[in-house]
């Protein structure tokens, strides 16, 4: 076995939450290209099924779709059980489902706040906890990669997104906390922090705002989801066996300046 084989995900059974579109979909495809068998977890079952079908047809791996609202502990547990029933085991999770809200903090209602926290923070925790339980049960050194954001490190302008930023900072520190707590089991927990990435999420923003972002990004452009895939694959793979609690910022230098 050569050194580069450590980057291979061949035969690993990996769940991707929020995998029906955007970053989750593209990273799922890349991991499948690297040999992983993939479970797409999303609110939208039909779209998830389409992505899973495309993945199995294109990459010749096993792929399945599961409806799962990550804010529901029962949904997460049931979908994960269904995945393990279909795939035999679980090796890794790309814990990626998330939502954003642009709203002045003075106008953010309790319901707005709770919704963002529920998906971006509670959901990420439920998925990580349920995965870790299954890894421990099987004595498996599983890997979890959470999607945080550069918004967990800096405050974006001009948009007002206090609730989003707070949850993403929470994801970064939750990642470190879980990494330390579960180190004794050999479970690794890392996060990625993307900068501005072209997806369905950012496509719905005001073009004038995107222009303002472009002028602030040292790379002079937004990134694409495939530019995140290598980082996720690294953290998920056996090339990263001494890496846990890390946050990999991939942002075209946005947070560097
Ligand atoms: P998208 O909105 O394109 O995709 C997110 C997917 O997650 C959608 O399919 C969405 O379904 C699903 N989802 C939302 N809520 C839930 C839920 N409760 N349970 C299960 N699935 C859910 O977003 P991106 O691909 O752009 O973002 C993916 C992640 O990356 C998010 O965590 C986001 O915060 C983060 N991120 C994105 C950046 C960007 O610039 N795009 C930058 C930094 C971080 P539905 O469409 O039905 O809501």
CA distances to 37, 50, 160, 176, 233 from 64, rounded to whole Å, are 9, 10, 37, 30, 19
pLDDT category of residue 1 using cuts at 50, 70 and 90: confident
Point out which residues pair with 93 in neighbouring strands: 15, 144
pLDDT of the residue at 99: 98
Domain ranges of the chain: 3-247
Q: What ranges make up the beta strands (E) of 121-187?
A: 143-147
pLDDT of the residue at 104: 97
Q: What is the pLDDT of residues 14-26, one digit of tens each?
A: 999 999 999 999 9
Query: Does residue 158 have a cis peptide bond before it, meaning omega lies within 30 degrees of 0?
Result: yes
* Rounded-to-integer distance, Cα 122 and Cα 204, Å: 25
Q: What is the pLDDT of residues 109-165, one digit of tens each?
A: 999 999 999 999 999 999 999 999 999 999 999 999 999 999 999 999 999 999 999
Catalytic residues, by residue number, are 149, 164, 168
Which class would CATH give 3-247?
A: alpha beta
Stretch 231-251: mean pLDDT: 98
Q: Which residues line ligand 1 (CB under 6 A)?
A: 17-18, 20-24, 42-44, 68-71, 96-100, 119, 123, 147, 149, 194, 196-197, 199-202
Closest atom, ligand 1, to C-alpha of 71: 18
């Amino acid at each position: 076995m050569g050194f580069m084989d450590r980057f291979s995900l061949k035969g690993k059974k990996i769940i991707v939450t929020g995998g029906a579109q955007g970053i989750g979909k593209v990273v799922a495809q890349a991991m499948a290209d690297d040999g992983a068998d993939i479970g797409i977890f999303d609110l939208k079952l039909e779209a998830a099924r389409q992505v899973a079908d495309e993945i199995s047809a294109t990459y010749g791996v096993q792929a399945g779709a599961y409806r799962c609202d990550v804010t529901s502990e029962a949904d997460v547990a049931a979908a994960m059980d269904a995945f393990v029933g279909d795939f035999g085991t679980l090796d890794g999770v790309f814990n990626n489902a998330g939502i954003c809200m642009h709203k002045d903090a003075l106008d953010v209602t309790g319901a707005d706040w709770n919704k963002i926290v529920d998906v971006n923070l509670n959901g990420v925790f439920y998925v990580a906890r349920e995965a870790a339980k299954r890894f421990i049960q099987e004595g498996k050194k599983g890997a979890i990669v959470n999607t945080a954001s550069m918004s967990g490190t800096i405050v974006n302008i001009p948009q007002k997104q206090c609730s989003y930023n707070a949850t993403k900072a929470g994801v970064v520190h939750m990642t470190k906390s879980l990494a330390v707590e579960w180190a004794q089991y050999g479970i690794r927990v890392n996060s990625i922090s993307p900068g501005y990435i072209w997806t369905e999420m950012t496509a719905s923003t005001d073009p004038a705002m995107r222009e303002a972002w472009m002028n602030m990004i040292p790379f002079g452009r937004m990134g694409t989801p495939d530019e995140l895939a290598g980082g996720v694959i690294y953290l998920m793979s056996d090339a990263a066996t001494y890496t846990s609690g890390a946050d990999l910022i991939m942002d075209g230098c946005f947070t560097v300046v």
